Amino acid sequence: MPVITVTQINRYIGSILKNDRNIQGIMVRGEISNYVKHFRSGHVYFTLKDSESAIKAVMFANSAARLKFAPEDGMAVIVSGSIGVYERDGAYQLYVNDIIPEGAGAQGAALEQLKRKLQKEGIFDTAHKRPIPAMPKKIGAVTSLSGAAVRDIINVLSRRYPLGEVYAVNALVQGEGAPESVCRGILRAEAAGCDVIIVGRGGGSSEDLSAFNTEKVAYAIYNCKVPVISAVGHETDFTIADLAADLRAPTPSAAAELAAPDISMLYEKIGILERRYEKAALAVLDRSTDRFVALNARLAAQSPENRLKLTGEKLSALNKRRDAAFLRYMDRLERQLGEKAARLDSLSPLKVLSRGYSLVYKEDSLLSSSESLKKGDKVKITFGSGGAEAEITDKW
């Protein structure tokens, strides 16, 4: 035979208990004793007993924090939870997630059961919750038309949201036939074209609220095609209608405030839109002006006037080039002339005379031969510098 450990046996027993549906998710009636709340962890420990037997119970801090009353020794209660094993001590105990005072009667337990059933059926699913329209046209109010709730709703809406229409459907909110009346009211408001419906009543005792704790009303709210705001004036406890509704309001006035925006906000919104389109239109205008200026500049560049100016500029540049070219040409001519003059100068007869040659004139004509000369002729002689008169004494 195999040997197993204590831990193994406790863990095994624990798994058996966990898989036994008869002791999981159960409700147990009994009386609280040895109630202790651990001051640091917030966990709650007690013994649940009846006349013959007792069971240890533990409620962890997160569940204990949700309790709407303070349990105490001797209190008759209905506890919901599951049986499990506390491995360290090898003890089985009741793990509690909710405690309902038995004072609330069997009715309380039944309500708890109904809540759990509807929860399982998905009636409270957050995924099913629809948003409230931003600007509803027709707001349904399903409540007693002789009660304070409808006056509160109308007062709030006429002050805050006079744009809308209130479609108020009379419904019995307590007593016999109340659930059916509320369901019919929801259908009537839906059929009238409401785009959001407030269902509720002013405060009342928990018996007065029983219509809002019925399966019928829960389904009517769940199946309604438009969003439903619950307004069951009861701050502390959530009714089933509250859980099924798309939005829960603590009072009918609060429901009216949640159903529609305040008109001052609408004025503000228009103001914001006005500023935005002013700004956007100005921006478009600015951009158009810039584009116009740019195009205008390009157009001006192509104007005949401007082209004439450009041609003029080109012409004067050409003129300048021509003048400069002419001056350069003249310079060159001058230089060439200078050189030629220098060469010419070297060929001048005066230069020849300075080298020792002389010129002989007879009666002012230059002689290049002695042929016309006779003895006794007078001649003039020009030297490189100075001159003389001479008489021919002989010739050859």
Partner 1 sequence: MTRLGQIVSELEKGDIPLEKAVELYGEGVKLSAECRKQLDSAQIKITEDDGKAPSEE
114 within 8 A of 123, measured Cβ to Cβ? no
Burial class (CB in 10 A: 0-12, 13-18, 19+), 88: exposed
For position 165 contacting partner 1 by CB under 8 A, the verdict is yes
Least spacing, CB of residue 138 vs partner 1, in Å: 9
Closer CB to partner 1, 69 or 267, in the complex: 267
Candidate segments 98-106, 110-118, 186-194, 195-203, binder of partner 1 by CB under 8 A: 186-194
Of 24, 33, 97, 170, the residue at the interface with partner 1 (CB under 8 A) is 170
Distance CA 321, CA 329 (A): 12
Distance CA 168, CA 54 (A): 54
Closer CB to partner 1, 154 or 360, in the complex: 154
201 within 8 A of 147, measured Cβ to Cβ? yes
Closer CB to partner 1, 182 or 247, in the complex: 182
Of 188, 204, 353, 360, the residue at the interface with partner 1 (CB under 8 A) is 188
| E-assigned strand segments in the chain | 26-37, 44-49, 54-59, 76-86, 91-101, 138-143, 165-170, 196-201, 228-232, 247-248, 359-362, 365-366, 378-382, 387-391
Q: For residue 315, what are the contacts with CB-CB under 8 A and spacing of at least 6?
A: none
Name residues contacting partner 1, limited to 243-302 (CB under 8 A). 263, 266-267, 269-270, 273-274, 276-278, 280-281, 283-285, 287-288
Candidate segments 9-17, 125-133, 152-160, 207-215, binder of partner 1 by CB under 8 A: 152-160
Closer CB to partner 1, 98 or 195, in the complex: 195
Taking each helix axis from N to C end, the angle separating 215-223 and 178-191, rounded to the nearest 10 degrees, works out to 10
Q: How many residues comprise the chain? A: 396
For position 318 contacting partner 1 by CB under 8 A, the verdict is no
Closer CB to partner 1, 164 or 200, in the complex: 164
Give Cα 180 to chain centroid, integer Å. 47
Least spacing, CB of residue 147 vs partner 1, in Å: 13
Closer CB to partner 1, 95 or 167, in the complex: 167
Distance CA 246, CA 229 (A): 6
Least spacing, CB of residue 226 vs partner 1, in Å: 16
Query: Site for partner 1 (CB under 8 A): how many residues?
Result: 40
Closer CB to partner 1, 188 or 362, in the complex: 188
Of 91, 106, 163, 325, the residue at the interface with partner 1 (CB under 8 A) is 163
For position 185 contacting partner 1 by CB under 8 A, the verdict is yes
Least spacing, CB of residue 115 vs partner 1, in Å: 27
Closer CB to partner 1, 16 or 282, in the complex: 282
Of 54, 192, 330, 333, the residue at the interface with partner 1 (CB under 8 A) is 192
DSSP annotation of 237 reads: S
Closer CB to partner 1, 162 or 376, in the complex: 162
Of 8, 158, 296, 306, the residue at the interface with partner 1 (CB under 8 A) is 158
Pairing of strands 138-143, 228-232: unpaired
Candidate segments 16-24, 185-193, 216-224, 365-373, binder of partner 1 by CB under 8 A: 185-193
Task: Write the DSSP string, 248-312.
Answer: E-SSHHHHHHHHS--HHHHHHHHHHHHHHHHHHHHHHHHHHHHHHHHHHHHHHHT-HHHHHHHHH
Pairing of strands 138-143, 165-170: parallel
Mask for 99-138, x = binds partner 1 (CB under 8 A): ------------------------------------x---
Distance CA 199, CA 300 (A): 74
Distance CA 4, CA 13 (A): 13
Closer CB to partner 1, 58 or 260, in the complex: 260
Distance CA 268, CA 371 (A): 137
Distance CA 213, CA 109 (A): 12
Which residues of the chain form contacts with partner 1 (CB under 8 A)?
A: 135, 142, 145, 154, 157-158, 161-171, 181, 184-185, 188-189, 192, 263, 266-267, 269-270, 273-274, 276-278, 280-281, 283-285, 287-288
